[in-house]
Structure 1
Amino acid sequence: MTDPQIALMMLGIFIFCVFLGFPIAFTLMAIGIAFGYYAYFDPGRMWRSYNRLEDDAGLWDSVSLWVEGFYNNRIFDLFVNQTYTVISNEVLTAIPLFLFMGYIVERANIVDKLFSTLAVASRNLPGALGVAALITCALFATATGIVGAVVTLMGLLALPQMLRLRYDHSFAAGIICAGGTLGILIPPSIMLIVYAAASGVSIVRLYAAALLPGLVLVGLYFTYIVVRAILNPNLAPKPTEEEVPAVPFGKLMWMLATSFLPLAILILSVLGSILFGLATPTEAASIGALGGILLAIAYRAMTFDRLRESVYLTVRTTAMVCWLFVGSYTFSAVFSYLGGEHVIAEFVQSLDLTPIQFLIVAQLIIFLLGWPLEWSEIIIIFVPIFLPLLPMFGIDPLFFGVLVALNLQTSFLTPPMAMSAYYLKGIAPPNIKLTEIFKGVLPYCGMVLIAMVLMYVYPQIVFSLPEAFYGPQR
């Protein structure tokens, strides 16, 4: 077999192992080291260690030199260097800080007050509780970036309220599932930080580029909820005075000031300091983590147990992301050294695709990968395969990254592997069927496709803010 054929076999074995359910980070490292031993094998280096054996050498010395000869392969140097590269990556430093901010905010009892306030403030809108749930999900998802946490918590808070007010099961479930995924796209998104580290794109430009598409998607969701509630009032009956009582204007303003404003100010201060160049993403994440602690203290929700749990979850999630990077870097280095990337590039060139056709094919592949894999695995492992192909088609990696972030919304919403639906089903009342949840999330997949088409047709949705803040990209 030739080296490129071995590289393709390496990729095939990895995909096979993923579908068998092996841990992805350690599978990447194991396959990368195993095939890398072959790729970087140098008989001269190995025998230099063996030749130091003497006839009268003791057993321990013999074993030691044989072990040294076995490990005298550059793949082990590569693995150590890649590990150090990941750990010292300044962009990735922001991830544990943003995660810590999210976990602290999740435990600060802010979300229940925010939802109650928005339910009262929007009571005269069609689908009032749905609108309140969407806005709460958007803010909470932006603050945490953790889909499972947002869907689960909002399922516990908002879903019982909507069911109590006779909302259609599918309609209510779809709002929570779709709103919970918005943190993947809207800055300060952890996914965008991971993409920036994998692609080398400026994280501040990426945040600016993703802001308008994120707001467009929220606007589409909002429009869908209101229009459906107007066309079919039985989906979201208007609450009576007894169910959601009106409150005086002054009291409503105080409720907003004590529930909506603190979280909004925290998010805007973090995002604004990044976009306006007042702080690096890591510094802004530090501000956000400190702000989350202060919010928890202000809401009298800070306890040692909650702090310890937040630290533990932060360390666990950060370790997962970092080991994925180590495995991916090792795997991709060996794959490229064996000529795998060259084979893929030649194959794509032979298809004679236009840039639009390439984007559609790439996004379709990422969409399909979103069924069995998490977004972190897709961004760290598979997106780098597409990145070297972008210059061939004249596609900006900034534009590609925002498209991927939009596309990954669907990976949480598309049956049969819609993880948002499973998160919600896990805490929903027994009478809520999984098929009802699937029915509710499908229209939001259509909203995502509309947003992607709008980006194709009007790319300035992506490029206008980065160019306005930082000038044209060189």
Structure 2
Amino acid sequence: MFELSSIGIGYGSLLMLSLMILLLLTGMQLAFVTGFVALIFALGWFGPPALGIVTSRMYSFIGSYVFLAVPMFVLMAALLDHSGIARDLFDAMNRLGRKLRGGVAVQTLVVAMILASMSGVIGGETVLLGILALPQMLRLGYDRNLAIGTTCAGGALGTMLPPSIVLIIYGLTANVSIGDLFKGAFLPAFILAMLYIAYVLIRVWLNPSLAPLPDEQDADDTPAPNFFKALMFPILSVITVLGSIYSGIASVTEASALGVVGIALSTLIRGELNLDMLRKATMTTLRTCGMIIWIGIGATALVGVYNLMGGIEFVRDTIFAVSGGHGLATILFMMAILLVLGMFLDWVGVALLTMPIFVPIIIELGYSPIWFGVVFCMNMQVSFLSPPFGPAAFYLKSVAPKGITLGQIFTSLLPFIGLQLIALALLIAFPQLALWWE
């Protein structure tokens, strides 16, 4: 009987990669592709005894206590999506920024930062901003590409800003403190958001026709919103979650539960909490977490089998051979791999497939895994906007006004992708940006 181990780790790695690509091209979901390939190689390379080791790795992933934070933060985002908190926040910020040229675009980015700090999930934020901000900017005569790019890029800030789900999954995979990752990601995320805002302001300063002032084009005669009501609940939510983590009062998992209670109480006080809303929020949470867990199970199984095959050592030697063993060259080579993978695979799969291989190399080179986690998160920020499968673009397309095509969305995102790459380069050049708190 032919054994796969006879072909060697080099050809085995190539066969594994080819089989994954072939199955993905058939339309099979990534979670089942990785699980199926793991099963084939476990049996073909080692035989049935290897299955026990694989299942133990899978259990250790889904049985982690910190993993409870994922459904909690997703539930926070779902409750936020189905309440009027985001709409009131947008209306209040819109009133504050209407006298500034480009102010609606700037306040859209500010609202995106606040929403990202409340949930850490990009899908809901992009959809919310697509419903609230994009039609407003188009109605006021904003340049279509500027309005689309600002809305979509702002909605994706949840990738970087704590409590980012991407950072939580990285922390679980790399076995590092998620609280430290949250601290490390805050400043780079803020810098990225400021780059977005600076870009908008510079563009409209150079070409005022891109963003007419509301009082010149379309005066807003609606009554002023209740600023206390609009701003109190979001600010309290952010303080409760991030404040409890940064101060050491609560762990990430405990803070996520506090956040859910806080959002639920906010919707109750606002008179929006009911059984139908809870049902919709719960179903959204189940679908999102189900996807993450299944991808995690499949990817963990595949990495476990590949590790047993000696694949991680093979990849390590290959990366060092290509980069010449130089630290910066190795980092850049990893970044290139992540950027390419991020264009085609879901970020959960990218994290779980690559981080068990990359993080030991980073530690061996003397770099901080906390810093690399923030770098990885910034890299995934790029992947959320990158064609051909940037998820943020598809989220926005689902609620965009008629006439806006997916191609136009990706074209509008190109300047913001450039800004993300600038932020990524700054983070690589100056690691202290992610380690400022040490």
Asked if these proteins are the same fold (TM beyond 0.5), I'd say yes
Residue 37 of structure 1: which of 30, 40, 43 is its match? 43
Distance 1:88 1:436 in 2: 43
Structure 1 residue 333 and structure 2 residue 304: aligned?
Answer: yes
Contact 1:196 1:203 in 2 (8 A): yes
Larger Rg: 1
TM (norm. structure 1) is 0.86
**What does 1:57-456 correspond to in 2, within 5 Å?**
73-240=48-215, 243-245=218-220, 255-351=226-322, 352-456=324-428
Structure 1, 2-11 or 406-415: larger mean CA deviation? 2-11
Distance 1:261 1:448 in 2: 31
TM (norm. structure 2) is 0.93
Tell me by how many angstroms 1:338 deviates: 1.2
Distance 1:339 1:9 in 2: 15
Distance 1:393 1:246 in 2: 60
Structure 1, 211-220 or 305-314: larger mean CA deviation? 305-314
Give the 3 Å change call, closer, same or farther, for CA 364–314 of structure 1 in structure 2.
same
Give the 3 Å change call, closer, same or farther, for CA 138–417 of structure 1 in structure 2.
same
Structure 1, 18-27 or 292-301: larger mean CA deviation? 18-27
Give the secondary-structure state (helix, strand or coil) at the position aligned to 1:108.
coil
Contact 1:187 1:211 in 2 (8 A): yes
Contact 1:199 1:384 in 2 (8 A): yes
Residue 26 of structure 1: which of 28, 32, 40 is its match? 32
Distance 1:277 1:205 in 2: 11
Tell me by how many angstroms 1:392 deviates: 3.6
- Amino acid of the residue matched to residue 24 of structure 2? V
Distance 1:20 1:247 in 2: 52
RMSD: 1.9
Q: What is the CA deviation profile of residues 295-323 of structure 1, one whole-angstrom value per residue up to 9, with x for unaligned ones?
A: 11122221211101211221222222222
Contact 2:79 2:281 in 1 (8 A): yes
Distance 2:279 2:338 in 1: 36
Contact 1:105 1:295 in 2 (8 A): no
Tell me by how many angstroms 1:242 deviates: 8.1
Give the secondary-structure state (helix, strand or coil) at the position aligned to 2:248.
coil
Distance 1:80 1:435 in 2: 42
Count the aligned residue pairs.
431
Distance 1:365 1:95 in 2: 26
Q: What is the CA deviation profile of residues 65-85 of structure 1, one whole-angstrom value per residue up to 9, with x for unaligned ones?
A: xxxxxxxx3233224323321
Distance 2:382 2:302 in 1: 27
Contact 1:3 1:338 in 2 (8 A): no
Tell me by how many angstroms 1:202 deviates: 0.8
Distance 1:373 1:81 in 2: 25
- Amino acid of the residue matched to residue 343 of structure 1? F
Give the secondary-structure state (helix, strand or coil) at the position aligned to 2:386.
coil
Q: What is the CA deviation profile of residues 373-413 of structure 1, one whole-angstrom value per residue up to 9, with x for unaligned ones?
A: 12111111223222232234222221111111111111122
Aligned to 2:3: none
Contact 1:123 1:244 in 2 (8 A): no
Tell me by how many angstroms 1:241 deviates: 7.1
Structure 1, 190-199 or 408-417: larger mean CA deviation? 408-417
- Amino acid of the residue matched to residue 102 of structure 1? A
Tell me by how many angstroms 1:344 deviates: 1.4
- Amino acid of the residue matched to residue 258 of structure 1? K
- Amino acid of the residue matched to residue 413 of structure 1? L
Structure 1, 270-279 or 427-436: larger mean CA deviation? 427-436
**Structure 2 unaligned residues grouped into runs of 5+:** 1-5
- Amino acid of the residue matched to residue 235 of structure 1? L
Contact 2:320 2:330 in 1 (8 A): no
Contact 2:145 2:408 in 1 (8 A): yes
Structure 1, 343-352 or 101-110: larger mean CA deviation? 343-352
Structure 1, 180-189 or 324-333: larger mean CA deviation? 324-333
Contact 2:267 2:273 in 1 (8 A): yes
Distance 2:140 2:127 in 1: 20
